[in-house]
Amino acid sequence: MHSMPNPSPAPRRRARALAALLGATLACLAAPQAAWAHAGHAGPLVRFVSTKHALKAMLPRGAKIVRRKQELSEEARRWAKERFGVELPGGLHTFFLARDRASGRVLGGALVREEHYRHGSARVAVGLDDRLRLTGLGLLGVSKKYTIDFEALGKGLFRGFEGLAPEALPERLEARFGHGSLPARKLVGWLKQDAALLAALLHQVEGSR
């Protein structure tokens, strides 16, 4: 009686390889879907104050306002590090620049940014004049799911910071909002960072003239 030959291992290897490839493909497809699901859970951004209203409040009346994209230079980053003690991100930044219509002189600027918060986002704004003094700052909006997180901190433009130098902002922010809760820590961090970033961008604009 003849024994049957063992089946070739090649088909089994091909089957295992195909199964592994299929598993990897399904994992890749599932990952972005999971991320989208998390982002969707936060809901749309609930707007407390429009960007247009915030700019009108923070920038000089009658000035020419332009939306500008600018790469932050190494010199401006060093300047900010020495003056504010913060490490600013390089790359391209978008901000609003106010100029005198007749002379073209810089009168101030404003920064409106979307910041990441949990699985959603928050929109914050900071304005500075030509002396790098605050003209306003605030929380313009938050993803719907997290509006309750910021209830105790306030919404819209915050009063009482006008005329303040960015160097003095951290202490005033912590006195106003504290730093015990996650929303407070995030808000204070965003506003401190964005005030320093805007100051560095305006410093760079003035230095390039």
The per-residue pLDDT for 90 is 85
Please give the Cα distance from 149 to 75 (Å, whole number): 38
Q: Are residues 28 and 88 in the same domain?
A: no
Task: Tell me if 192 sits within 8 A of 169, measured CB to CB.
Answer: yes
Q: Are residues 142 and 127 in the same domain?
A: yes
Please give the Cα distance from 110 to 90 (Å, whole number): 18
| pLDDT profile of the chain (209 residues), mean per 10 | 50 55 45 43 92 96 96 95 92 96 96 95 97 97 96 94 95 92 96 97 84
Q: Are residues 25 and 96 in the same domain?
A: no
Q: What tokens does 195 get?
A: 């005030």
Q: Are residues 14 and 102 in the same domain?
A: no
Q: Are residues 120 and 145 in the same domain?
A: yes
Residue 113 lies in domain: 45-207
Number of domains making up the chain: 2
Q: Are residues 34 and 53 in the same domain?
A: no
